[in-house]
Amino acid sequence: MKHIQEQQIIKKEQPNNQNELVNILHPFVKQWFFSKFKEFSLPQLYGVMEIHSRKNILISAPTGATKTLTGFMAILNELVDTADKGILENKIYAVYVSPLKALNYDIEHNLITPLKEIEAITGKRLGIRVAVRTGDTTQKEKIAMLKNSPHILITTPESLAILITSVKFRDYLKDVQWCIVDEIHALAENKRGVYLSLSLERLNHISPSLARVGLSATIAPIEEIAKYLVGSRNCTVVELQFLKQLDMQVISPVKDLINVSHNDLHHELYTLIDKLVQEHKTTLIFTNTRAATERVVHHLKEKFPKNYTENIGAHHGSLSKSHRHNIETRLREGKIKVVVCSTSLELGIDIGYIDLVLCLGSPKSVARALQRIGRSGHQLHAVTKGRIIVLDRDDLVECSVLLKAAVEKKIDRIHIPRNSLDVLAQQIYGMAIEQVWDENELFETIKKSYCYFDLKKSDFEEILSFLAGEFSSLEDRNIYAKIWRNDGKIGRRGKMARVIYMTNIGTIPDQTGVEVKIGTQTIGFIDEGFLEKLKKRDVFVLGGSTYEFRFAQGMVCQVTVSAGKPPTVPSWVSEMLPLSFDLSLEIGRFRRLMEDKFLHKLSHEDILTFIHEFLYVDKNAAEAIYNYFRLQYEYVKEIPHDKKILIEHYNDREESKIMVHSLFGRRVNDVLSRAIAFAISRSQKRDVEIGIDDNGFYISCEKNVNVLSALKLLKADKLKLVMENAIEQTEVLKRRFRHCAQRSLMILRTYKGRTKNVGRQQVSSMILLAAVRRISPNFSIIKEARREVLEDLMDIENAMVVLRMIEEDKIKIKEIHTSIPTPFAFNLVMQGYTDILKIEDKVEFLKRMHQMVIAKIALQKKNISEDKQKDFLKNNSIDYHELWKKSEDKKKLEEEEGKQHLKFLAYNLKHVPTFAKEQIIKIIDGETDDIRADFIEDVKKYRKEIEKEWPKELKELVLNIALYDRRYEAARKL
Amino acid sequence: MQIIDNVKIIGLMLYLKKQRTLILSDIHLGYEEYMHKKGVVVPRFMLKDLILRLESVFERVKPEKIIITGDLKHEFGEINQQEWREILRFLDFLLKHCREVIIIRGNHDRFLSPISRKRNIMLQSSVVIDEYLIAHGDETFDIPENVKTIIIGHEHCAISLKQKNRVERYKCFVSGKIMIKNKDKKQKYNLIAMPSSNTITEGTDVLDEQLLSPFLQHDLSDFSVFVVGGKNYDEMFEFGKVKELRKIV
């Protein structure tokens, strides 16, 4: 029987002392080090000795805490020693893996320069070679590396896998002593990290004495990350989370976030940004989305042309590599005053001296906030200074709680994807190219990775069977098989195997945007998934303006400007960062404490003091938060929180929505809302519309539905089954299937020297999905797409936690009815719908559409008078177009008449001052952007009278606009 | 369901009752291998799927003739292995169930005759049976005197139905009257355009997209739409006229 050794993850509590470290250093290195530094830094005192003794170690510390040098010091020391003795071999001693491609600067800084300096000090040529191998490495450089192996190899996860598979290079990788994984926090939570974890096992398989060194920013849970780094082995953990002094504040551009016009808020926001930027030397601004990045740069330049010229720059993923590189270089050289980025500068590379970080809107997780703000004061002991600017009251509460968690060192936990079958397929293919494997040995090797430690044998078998083409008939199998299976062994098949593998390696799906154009002028980019949803004449929002869709040609989408028309399709929210579950619970807890204060009828002063002390916010913010909660409490006497879900039945003349206040973050709400919608639509046989945000979700349906009973019917242990059905028809599953098919090499991006564009891939994947479903609805790659959607994109695990708490009555559910939504529901109401849950079968949908069309045709026929009908039939098409035009004109006329009628009513209102009537006319004309604040105040003040006396249609319009339209403005103000 | 007198829709096929003739369109055998060559591993399912559907058709009708209106195979420039094997297998299957198989040459069928010759079938550019003219539909040609109805494939007719945010595409037949100048004489014909008889993709939206066939360059406003639905393409829905649908859907 095999002896199973318990894995040990040990926290290192005490650092080594300076002398211990000095003693292990080679004289050259010692001399060099103290010529540059006075003493060892804390991370070095903790880490260098462990790396020196070839122990696995994870070092978690903020950016700029000399992590990289810590990682390399013991390795440099060893290599200098070996070189000095003249026994340096032609092989790789250390591999350094980073998710970033543009590493040259950092490597120069941390490796090449020290080596040069050591050589200069000692006057001896050591001959230690460092080489960078990424997708950008030239053929010439590759050949040079093959001749003379580097001693330290700098690479990316993708290139590492290629090198392990390469016949010649592989030999240099057979005695690697260390592997450093940098920016591990950015890898562990996605499939790229899963991929790397298997590559590390492959490297370990040929280099058995490998020690792993992980470098991470502030992250939680640290033990899981350590396990991710080492798989089933032992690991030392060094956690130096809060070395730097943290100066972090939440600020609002205006005192009162609700009674302010969009224009004023906009103005104040940019004035505030400008003020902060001017007070500091270099500022980095994070905006969360690419579009907002552009907007902020644009507005700053426009409003303060003297302050912002060449000294401001945008940095995000859609910009060209050279543009981004240029910005980074100028930042480092101190030649730029302010850089606005989406999320792209969160990671790694040294960007020089920054003394202020601004976050516009919530960073959505504590770890991310620390990561961003940690970009300032990029030296070990400098103060980090960050300001989060909030733009609405939900944001204010969220960021204030986030601030509290950051100060109190409560870091939210990340999710590490597990048992991804698509990545597994790609890696097994690579492994089969490497050598012939015994199936059991292969399985055991894979299970050493943390991402696969509980991989089911049946899933493993399925992937082998998939790769061996066993899904096809015997006579076709030679075409479909990528590997052979025989007698418990597997190996590669086909002459093309290596080329196919090397040119299609990786896990990041192609995501080129569709270009949106008016004529030849480019407006911007939309996601291809979004394009799929568009039909002729649909109106959508892009960069703050509305456009009407005309047609698409390949990856170009032609539109016309459509000012003033409301969008008919929801804006694309895939870019939005989800609120972390842990942080959402913290916000829920704060809400609960607040409700408690109101229930116990605490005084205004006492509650203010509580907020002020609990949240570390200033008086103004405390007052704003107080008012927000008071409004909610006084309106319905219910504040939803972590132990109470509030179901709000909101009904006004036109629509009824059922809003569920469930503050658990978008990823959990995605699951809850779809599961409920599915349960409802199953019984009602109708498509259900859902809208989701971090604070809750809504459900809307043509018929009345009972959300409460649906929610209570859902059971945690059945949730997975329900959800698998609920997502089966969704766009998101189709899209994720394409990604999975690509990763598992069912769709080859590059084949026979040709590269497929995304559009082509999408068409292919639709056909593929249909074909694969015929083989089995549980085909491994479909199964993986479902898993990815439910576990990685959404958060079914924590949704189950919530449901369990409902079952155990730890979370209570309350119901209320409103005709004007509660303050906490404003943002949700204003949001367009996110998705239609297609419950109705495609077959059923057709039947219903048929009935509808037939009914409408009958109705139309009745409406066309005898004469017209004759004409219509006689001259068919030409008359038809005229008729169409006429009816359109008529519609417009009716609209105009409707407006005139409303205006007439407005003029005839009694007890209403002229200025107010003017404002009402503006509202009727749809010019709601700059309604005067005093008018809004008055409407609120005289609401009762208005409700009683005004004509119905007028009062509805005005109340709607006055009471919450500006909330809509606030939500999209950036 | 009957489109016009004597012409019935069965699944994705047409049946001329009096003539006991079954018409199939745009099957595109060999598509999986074609995709495979482009680097997309699509498992083979089309032939199996087609034979299953045909078997159920043969339970309902016993045709004497089967006409394939073109694009039996997919590869333009060559014959792939799958085509050799599957087309022969398919023709053998059809010949077991009828007396004669007629194949019309589609634009994809440039290299079909080496295969069809093995079963002694010659490719035709069009076929006239009584008053019906059956052609692929990619080209125009002189139309014999007695023809009243033209049946074409090529276009893979479909329509997209939309309600709110939901869009679904369905295969359909379209049928209507067109005027064609034939030998300096304008004449009126019934035109029926078929969906593809394969189940890989739905096809081209006749309401919205640019159509290819010269027969469909007319204004289609007054054409009727017959949508094929149901899990096994066994339910038919008459959806009114194109112009009405354009307005509503």
Domain for residue A848, yes or no? no
- Which residue, A189, A208, A239, sits at the end of a domain? A239
Q: Which of A247, A816, A748, A847 is nearest to A503 (CA)?
A: A748
What integer pLDDT is reported at residue A54 of this predicted model? Answer: 95
Please name the residue of chain A whose CA is at the shortest distance from the CA of residue B247: A884
Per the structure, how many domains does chain A have? 6
Calculate the CA dihedral of residues B16, B18, B20, B23 and round it to 10 degrees.
-10
State residue A549 phi and psi, 5-degree precision: -75, 130
B217 close contact with A: CB closer than 8 A? no
Percent of chain A with pLDDT over 70: 86
What integer pLDDT is reported at residue B64 of this predicted model? Answer: 96
Read off the pLDDT band of A392 (50, 70, 90): confident
- For B:34-93, CB contacts with A below 8 A are 35-36, 38-45, 49
Domain for residue A605, yes or no? yes
Is A541 in the same domain as A681? no
All residues of chain B having their beta carbon less than 8 Å from the beta carbon of residue A747 are 39-41
Q: pLDDT tens across A650-701, in order?
A: 886 666 789 999 999 999 999 999 999 888 877 777 777 788 889 999 888 7
Domain for residue A567, yes or no? no
- Which of A390-404, A952-966, B179-193 has the weakest average pLDDT? A952-966
Query: What is the C-alpha to C-alpha distance for residues A564 and A541, in angstroms, rounded to an integer?
Result: 11
E strand or H helix that includes residue A469:
none
Per-residue tokens: A409: 């060192």
Domain for residue A569, yes or no? no
Is A503 in the same domain as A604? no
Is this model's pTM higher than 0.95 or not? no
Paired residues of B23 in beta bridges: B14, B67
All residues of chain A having their beta carbon less than 8 Å from the beta carbon of residue B178 are none
Domain for residue A588, yes or no? yes
Is A255 in the same domain as A141? no
Inter-chain CB pairs, A–B, below 8 Å:
122
E strand or H helix that includes residue B38:
none
What integer pLDDT is reported at residue A1 of this predicted model? Answer: 44
**Does residue A193 surpass a pLDDT of 70?**
yes
H-type alpha helices, A3-94: 18-24, 27-36, 42-52, 67-84
Rounded to the nearest angstrom, the minimum Cα separation between B248 and chain A is 7
**Does residue A875 surpass a pLDDT of 50?**
no
Is A304 in the same domain as A189? no
Query: What is the C-alpha to C-alpha distance for residues B24 and B195, in angstroms, rounded to an integer?
Result: 9
Cite the beta strand spans of A232-347 per DSSP E.
Answer: 235-239, 245-251, 283-286, 312-315, 338-341
- Beta carbons within 10 angstroms of residue A42's beta carbon: 16
Is A605 in the same domain as A677? no
- Answer yes or no: are the C-beta atoms of B215 and B234 closer than 8 Å: no
Q: Which of B19, B94, B199 is nearest to A769 (CA)?
A: B199
- Answer yes or no: are the C-beta atoms of A374 and A217 closer than 8 Å: yes
**Does residue A380 surpass a pLDDT of 60?**
no
What integer pLDDT is reported at residue A728 of this predicted model? Answer: 87
Read off the pLDDT band of A218 (50, 70, 90): confident
What integer pLDDT is reported at residue A676 of this predicted model? Answer: 92
What integer pLDDT is reported at residue A890 of this predicted model? Answer: 58
- What residue type is A406 in one-letter code? A
Judged by CB atoms closer than 8 Å, whether chains meet at A775 and B45 is answered as yes
DSSP classification of residue B5: T
3-class secondary structure, A403: helix
Is A383 in the same domain as A406? yes
All residues of chain B having their beta carbon less than 8 Å from the beta carbon of residue A753 are none
| CB-count exposure of residue A39 (10 Å: 0-12, 13-18, 19+) | exposed
Q: Which of A692, A695, A705, A712 is nearest to A651 (CA)?
A: A705
Q: What is the residue-averaged pLDDT of chain B?
A: 90
Percent of chain B with pLDDT over 70: 98
Calculate the CA dihedral of residues A84, A88, A92, A93 and round it to 10 degrees.
-50
Is A634 in the same domain as A664? no
What integer pLDDT is reported at residue A163 of this predicted model? Answer: 95
All residues of chain A having their beta carbon less than 8 Å from the beta carbon of residue B218 are none
Name all contacts of A771-774 with Cβ < 8 Å and 24+ positions apart: A771/B32, A771/B42, A771/B43, A771/B45, A771/B200, A772/A746, A772/B43, A774/B43, A774/B45, A774/B49
Read off the pLDDT band of A941 (50, 70, 90): confident
- Beta carbons within 10 angstroms of residue A638's beta carbon: 18
Residues in CB range of A236: below 8 A, 6 or more apart: A10, A11, A12, A50, A55, A56, A57, A58
Domain for residue A1, yes or no? no
Paired residues of A751 in beta bridges: A754
- Answer yes or no: are the C-beta atoms of A573 and A793 closer than 8 Å: no
What integer pLDDT is reported at residue A478 of this predicted model? Answer: 83
Distance (Å) of CA A434 to CA A162, A388, A580:
10, 50, 40
Bond before A305 cis per omega within 30 degrees: no
Read off the pLDDT band of A968 (50, 70, 90): very low
Percent of chain A with pLDDT over 90: 48
Read off the pLDDT band of B26 (50, 70, 90): very high
Cite the beta strand spans of chain B per DSSP E.
Answer: 2-4, 7-10, 13-16, 21-24, 65-68, 100-104, 123-124, 126-129, 132-135, 149-152, 157-163, 166-182, 185-193, 204-205, 224-229, 235-241
All residues of chain B having their beta carbon less than 8 Å from the beta carbon of residue A751 are 38-39
**Does residue A887 surpass a pLDDT of 60?**
no
Name all contacts of A803-806 with Cβ < 8 Å and 24+ positions apart: A803/A672, A803/A714, A803/A715, A803/A716, A803/A719, A804/A716, A806/A645, A806/A711, A806/A712
Judged by CB atoms closer than 8 Å, whether chains meet at A770 and B247 is answered as no
Mean pLDDT computed over B45-66: 94
Query: What is the C-alpha to C-alpha distance for residues A376 and A386, in angstroms, rounded to an integer?
Result: 8
Q: pLDDT tens across A895-933, in order?
A: 777 777 777 777 777 778 888 888 888 878 777 667 777
The closest CB to that of A775, out of B43, B163, B249, belongs to: B43
- Answer yes or no: are the C-beta atoms of A619 and A568 closer than 8 Å: no
**Does residue A834 surpass a pLDDT of 80?**
no
B222 close contact with A: CB closer than 8 A? yes
- What residue type is A659 in one-letter code? M
Domain for residue A32, yes or no? yes
Please name the residue of chain B whose CA is at the shortest distance from the CA of residue A875: B222
Domain for residue A405, yes or no? yes
State residue A124 phi and psi, 5-degree precision: -120, 135
Paired residues of B133 in beta bridges: B128, B150
Q: Which residue has the higher pLDDT, A945 or B67?
A: B67
What is the rounded end-to-end Cα distance, in angstroms, of chain A?
64
- Which residue, A464, A490, A508, sits at the end of a domain? A508
- Write down all domains in chain B, each with its CATH number in brackets: 2-248 (3.60.21)
Domain that holds residue A553: 514-561
- For A:248-287, CB contacts with B below 8 A are none
Is A167 in the same domain as A71? yes
Read off the pLDDT band of A488 (50, 70, 90): very high
Judged by CB atoms closer than 8 Å, whether chains meet at A768 and B231 is answered as no
Q: Which of A312, A281, A267, A282 is nearest to A294 (CA)?
A: A312
DSSP classification of residue A471: T
**Does residue A757 surpass a pLDDT of 80?**
no
Distance (Å) of CA A419 to CA A423, A463, A467:
9, 12, 17
Judged by CB atoms closer than 8 Å, whether chains meet at B36 and A479 is answered as yes
Q: Which residue has the higher pLDDT, B205 or A52?
A: A52
- Which of A491-495, A759-763, B146-150, B222-226 has the weakest average pLDDT? A759-763
Rounded to the nearest angstrom, the minimum Cα separation between B74 and chain A is 15
Is A596 in the same domain as A663? no
**Does residue A243 surpass a pLDDT of 80?**
no
Is A286 in the same domain as A336? yes
What integer pLDDT is reported at residue A948 of this predicted model? Answer: 78
ipTM, two decimals: 0.84
| CB-count exposure of residue A610 (10 Å: 0-12, 13-18, 19+) | middle
Rounded to the nearest angstrom, the minimum Cα separation between A782 and chain B is 14
- For A:863-922, CB contacts with B below 8 A are 876-877, 880, 884
- Answer yes or no: are the C-beta atoms of B149 and B140 closer than 8 Å: no
Judged by CB atoms closer than 8 Å, whether chains meet at A857 and B162 is answered as no
Is A93 in the same domain as A193? yes
Per-residue three-class SS string for A865-890: CHHHHHHHHHHHHHHHHHHHHHHHHH
Read off the pLDDT band of A99 (50, 70, 90): confident
- What residue type is B180 in one-letter code? I
**Does residue A319 surpass a pLDDT of 60?**
yes
What integer pLDDT is reported at residue A841 of this predicted model? Answer: 63
> Residue A374's Cα: distance from chain center in Å?
20
Is A197 in the same domain as A212? yes
Angle, helices A666-684 vs A719-726, to 10°: value is 80
What integer pLDDT is reported at residue A541 of this predicted model? Answer: 67
Mean pLDDT computed over A943-962: 76
A474 close contact with B: CB closer than 8 A? no
All residues of chain B having their beta carbon less than 8 Å from the beta carbon of residue A775 are 43, 45
B199 close contact with A: CB closer than 8 A? yes
Query: What is the C-alpha to C-alpha distance for residues A910 and A905, in angstroms, rounded to an integer?
Result: 10
- Which residue, A532, A561, A590, sits at the end of a domain? A561
A752 close contact with B: CB closer than 8 A? yes
- What residue type is A695 in one-letter code? N
